[in-house]
Structure 1
Amino acid sequence: MTDPIAPQILIVDDARDIREPLGQYLRKHGFRTRLAAHAAEAREVLAEAAIHLVVLDIMMPGEDGLSLCRWLVAHNGPPVLLLTAMADETDRIVGLELGADDYLVKPFNPRELLARARAILRRAPPEPGRPPRGRRAFAGWVHDPDAMTLSGTDGRTVDLTTAENRLLGILLDQPRAVLSRTTLLDLAAGREAKAYDRAIDNQISRLRRKIETNPKNPRILVTEWGGGYRLVADVTDAG
């Protein structure tokens, strides 16, 4: 049985005969995996699951892998391992220039992909800001930053994306304080990405959908007009 806090890898490839066997192989070697057949499906997974690495095929119908890679880097997403065709040297170079962490040429040996994935995860930078914190309770939730999850008093467990996990940790560090968008961007920027105020707004909206009873009328994570955002809750250590 896979460890529930093991790193989770998203495999994005339109070829079913690649993504499904690869998912099984990575699970066999201790990783959790999610699968997506195209970029739109990958975005849905990234919005609701804690993903530590994206294995991304460049050549896909619709939005291609380079476009999704660009979006991931711009939105401070997880590291990217590109899968490329033998003849696509230009695409490999462009992918690395966009911010991909590594690439692998098809056809590839799964053992090599496993080794490259482990290497990327080992060198992934720690989250910026304060040192890692343990589990903390607030407003009927317990945040586990290592597992990137929220546990509710009703027994529900909610996955957080890397960006959501980082942002929530920052808010929990300073409960009831008004944090401007600029401050949140400065504290949350974990990669050299060109982030914008709107990126923080989008992450706040996604967090509200996960923690608020009524996200349209938030009571926990409130907006301070002209100021930024404030977590309105007491925060305690949860062991």
Structure 2
Amino acid sequence: MAFEKLVFEKIDHETVVDTVVRQIEDLIVTGVLKEGTKLPPERELAETMDVSRQKIREALKRLEDQNLLRVRHGEGSYIAALTGTALSPAMIDLYARHQSAFYDYLEYRREQEGFAAALASERATKVDRDIILDTLEKLELAQKNRDSKASKEQDIKFHSVIVDASHNSTLIHTMASIYELTKRGIFYNRDYLHTIDGSGEKLLQQHKDIGMAIVEGRAEDAQIAARTHIDFVEKSFRAGHEGSKREALAKKRQALIGS
């Protein structure tokens, strides 16, 4: 058999629609297009990709049939829900009632975020590093202005952009679901950490340690810093929980003494 027949395979000619679909699918898989992202109008997509609006329309219809897009009439096309929720509503309520489950959640985050930070140190592009530094600046500004809402938003964004910088599609999508729960304040209240930390300077410094280690390409330091941060969160909540129990017992003793 001839050499070329052993080494090379026939190439199927993709249609224009197939090419458009594959490009959008690639952007979804890699986490560039995230759940809820609105796509540009058909006309803009057609101009950007240099294809007809009819082909764009066909591609979007195929993606919608695959449940990757949701079309809102009169509004546009949006990336559909990709990962669902990490836990069912019933399980979330169960977590709220069982303290040990909360620490399991932190344990999971500790390992995944340490892994993500190490990967980001090795894989982050200049754009990724710029985004991390910009997010750190906004987090520090929110801290300086004592803006708890902006501080919470930038905190979650900081962890998210690190995961994005890992360039691991599985991490990107699974952690997006976890961060969505954190964003909704289901697992813990970030403001509570500030009452333990005082000014919040410890938390800010921990984020800086993680970010700078990644930007400077220090994978081991980044992993350690990420894990140390979650360890601090766990230790703080354990201390707070124990303190609340002691306070409740003290009040009961006080009530008995006063009776």
Instruction: Decide: shared fold, TM above 0.5.
Output: no
Q: Rg: which structure is higher?
A: 2
Greater relative contact order structure (CA < 8 Å, 6+ sep): 2
Answer 1 or 2: which has greater helix percent: 2
